[in-house]
Amino acid sequence: MESLIIRGGRELRGEVRIGGAKNAALPVLISALLTDQDLLVANVPHLRDITTTLELLGRFGARIEVDEKSVITVNAGTLTSRRAPYELVKTMRASILVLGPLLARFGEAEVSLPGGCAIGSRPVDLHVRALEQMGATIAVEGGYIKASTSGGRLHGAKIVFDTVTVTGTENLMMAASLAQGTTVLENAAREPEVIDLANCLIAMGARIVGAGSDVIEIEGVSSLSGASHRVIPDRIEAGTFLVAAAVTQGEMHLHDVNPAHLDAVTARLRDAGAEISMTESGVSLTMRQRPRAVSISTAPYPGFPTDMQAQFLLLNCVAEGAASVTEHIFENRFMHIHELQRMGADINLHGNTALVQGVKQLGGAQVMATDLRASACLVLAGLVAREQTVIDRIYHIDRGYDCIEEKLSQCGADIRRVSDSRSPRVHAVQ
């Protein structure tokens, strides 16, 4: 396994180009299953989850090509399998997104129950119940979701989600694109990634209105065509780098971002004392003093994103004052607290709320990443800690951040990646 070694205490100053959004690229690539023609997708980030998705599409028999500009072409004209195996699905919960497209186009699918970050229950029953409303017959056997349609195509239905679900909205939006009749999704997710998928599907010939609101209407068509699509920028990567600059009292300019997608994050950073300016596709942040503590409460978009909770919890750990961090989306997304406490953070957890008292300095330690965003939080902690921090199990961070150590190094961070063969690394922090 690999680890990151960080020597903290440096102000970050520089420019970073933000990549495509992982959470948008995954469903867009999977939407290629809905057509027998080429889907060309640009601005796809180089991440482990993307590699897993392409391997999964390849297992189905799809043809995949990458050109010199890193545009990925997927052609699912001839598939040899409708089965998503456990060995791939176990690493990535987004794999459940193949269920709707396979069922809509081919009338059958067999998908392993998904894995991914261990951050709490993200049940697939919302997907299953909705597809059953559209005429699917579904059983869960041996750890697999086995789905089929007895009458050919799925049919339109009115679906009201019990809770807001991004993957549920995306799965059903794809399935409904090839269903017979009209489907209405109520209490739908409003995230930019949902809008991005809708725009890709519309380019393929789908009839979708309302994406970005809590009611989406899809009029099914008999077939979809090929298309070209450029994935939106990653708002979570952008937010993470902005927090990195803030906690190190530095200065950073981000290129290739959509500032409107960052409203909830930049508002809290301004509350923390950051100076922020924006252009059409860029954001600049300057922090001239120790951050002020800011309370946050996660909520579905356009509320504060759960994927930025860990980074802001870290900001509060080194801020002036005290604040609360409340998690409303996932019930088990505070596992990074124990690692931060080992570095000297003053945090008390009460149910789904963490009470944080800022300290002037964290200390370096050997810590372990527990999920994707927790690993980003620990990287930020290492950037502000005195002495050396070693972060193990960084395969989590490679699922969502492309070359994070290289981008941070370009801004002045002392960070490097090592393999276990470079031991005994732990001696440096004892």
Beta-ladder partners of 184 = 158, 217
DSSP state of 259: G
Q: Of 117, 200, 317, 411, which is the active-site residue? A: 117
DSSP per residue, 75-105 = E-SS-S--EE-HHHHTT-GGGGGGHHHHHHH
Beta-ladder partners of 218 = 183, 208
Look-up of token digits 């050919």: 152
Structure tokens at 207: 């009839």
Distance CA 426, CA 424 (A): 6
User: Residue 127: helix, strand or coil by DSSP?
Assistant: helix
117 is catalytic: yes
356-to-56, 228, 340 alpha-carbon distances in Å: 41, 46, 11
User: Residue 335: what are its φ and ψ, rounded to 5°?
Assistant: -65, -20
Structure tokens at 345: 């953070």
Nearest to 316 by CA among 383, 246, 368, 238: 246
CB atoms within 10 A of CB 69: 6
Q: Which amino acid belongs to residue 417?
A: R
183-to-101, 135, 225 alpha-carbon distances in Å: 15, 12, 20
- Listed in sequence order, the residues at least 6 apart from 255 whose beta carbon sits closer than 8 Å to its beta carbon are 15, 16, 17, 18, 281, 282
- Listed in sequence order, the residues at least 6 apart from 57 whose beta carbon sits closer than 8 Å to its beta carbon are 29, 30, 32, 33, 64, 74, 76
| Cis, bond preceding 123 (omega within 30 deg of 0) | no
Distance CA 337, CA 398 (A): 21
Structure tokens at 15: 């420019």
Beta-ladder partners of 260 = none
| Residues marked as catalytic | 117
